[in-house]
Structure 1
Amino acid sequence: MSQKIFRSGFVSIVGRPNVGKSTLLNRILGEKLMITSDKPQTTRNQIKGIHNVPDGQIVFLDTPGIHRAKTRLNKFMVEEALSSVQGVDLILFLVDGAFDPEKEAGMIKEVLSGVEAPVILVLNKIDLIPKGDLLGRMAAYGENYPFKEIIPVSAASGDGVEQLVQLVHGLLPEGPCYFPDDILTDVPERFIVAEIIREKIFRLTRDEVPYSTAVVVDSFKERETGVVAIQATINVERDSQKGIIIGRKGEMLKKIGSQARQEIERLLDTKVFLELFVRVSGEWSDNSRMLKEFGYDS
């Protein structure tokens, strides 16, 4: 009996902000590893998600949304996304199914200019598209770029996702198992904890506040009782933002901490003692030294 080929490789997920890249990867992994919110530009770093299938391993790269960058932080985010299309085995270009294909054509060609890897266009949020429009939209995208395949999915419901994974696996080259088969990512727990806290800020605050926050885990210690004690600092750019994060009588900070702690406990499978502090770090999003300190450095 012939042995099946073990296929493996790196697959970059790219697209505009808020098209569902992190939601798709969470759905594929079967775990909520990437933070999500209904606000654009939630993802800031390039993060690996490791998915094992029979006779294969797919290493997905979740990336920030591609947008017009102004601050140093935003430029870092776009660089993280654009750099991910080089040196990978396959690219998933994610678009919101409700977007106009003609208006997306220029951005797609610009991002994929010079790319050698095959590209699958993933048409997400198909549950929001009238059924009669789906084939026409797929055809319109196909006229603008020679995609390997165009696959409609709903990352939120899971519709079409398993078929997408099977297609990806079949297009990967023969290769080794790059990571142990019992891990979902190569980023440390401290990073994920900071991201969880930042997600709660995105979900609970409005306007410019979530975009002006950076979370740093200062201390991460397991006590003899098994409780993990975590201290983290939420950095903001102005005193007014600090006031909003803390809230009246500290209520907002308690809410952020409570929701984050519950999710961190599920992640670590143990009790967690979480202390949050808020610090004003003026204009950090445009300060190269602070960006490096906060983990936003190419």
Structure 2
Amino acid sequence: GFGQIFTDHILYMEFDRAKGGWGPAEIRPYGLLNLEPGSACLHYGQIVWDGLKCYRSEDGLRLFRPRENFKRLNYSARRMCMPEVDVEYMLAALKELLKVEARWVPKTLGTSLYIRPCMLASEPFLGLHKANRYILFIMLSPSGPYFKEGFKPVKILVEDKYVRAAIGGTGEAKTAGNYAASLKSTDEAMEKGFSQTLWLDACERKYIEEVGAMNMAFVINGEVVTPPLNGSILAGITRKSILEICKHLNIPAVERKISIGEVIKGIQNGNLTEAFGMGTAAIIAPVGSIYYKENNYTINNFEVGPIATQLYQELTGIQYGSKPDIFGWIEKVE
């Protein structure tokens, strides 16, 4: 299953401030990392990562907007006082890794090879300051279809007890601590039969932020509405692509604050007709119901809506090559 099987090799790099920065990338067998118990990442949380996919199409292997992922990795690194990488160098190195591991890229439509770049502080010390030595590795994991039973809606729980992140914190960085902070809520939601947690803002517990590890969108009066990137929400590459596709298809779309009260009212009066998450794993994850304050609110009779379906087909069509790449998003592995 996803995230449990890894390919034979990783890409590996080391950074040492005293030696002038990053050393060369090398492809080495998948195996244990050499980390001391005092490594700063284990104590002070200097860990950032990102995620993207490699797809197999009739014309070979292809990546979807990989530069955006390495740019976001750099943004996360800056926020966590970690060194940046050269985007073009990393892309070239990733392609070499994918050539070595090409047989691991699945052939079935809906499958892919998940790519996980991860950077961590490896210098051993105790004391709160940024590290001077780092490791960056890229590991690969074959991924089956996200929707094993077809493209169907999920049930989500609105979280009004815990918070994921606050403006001014690290919510817009892809750092390990953000995900650890979400585990308690996610675990409790899944115990109650829900697939994901819908996060509200940390200040007022009123405005929609993210759903699980995805950005969130609603269709209200025919318009796609998604919360703005306010400093506590991750700048999703799928989210960015969906907004660009909406513009191309003349689907009205807007980034604005949306309260949970507006969502509930919209479901009740019929103005809110669709809801869906947007992220690398699922691309589009339709939401069929929202549970809030002991009440369950069903969206569109728990059926996938036409806009979510259209956006999913457009984006996956570009990724797998069945639709033309009019945006120039595809990077071929050659």
The TM-score normalised by the length of structure 2 is 0.25
Pick the structure with more helix per residue: 1
TM-score of the superposition, structure 1-length normalised? 0.27
Please identify which structure carries the higher strand content: 2
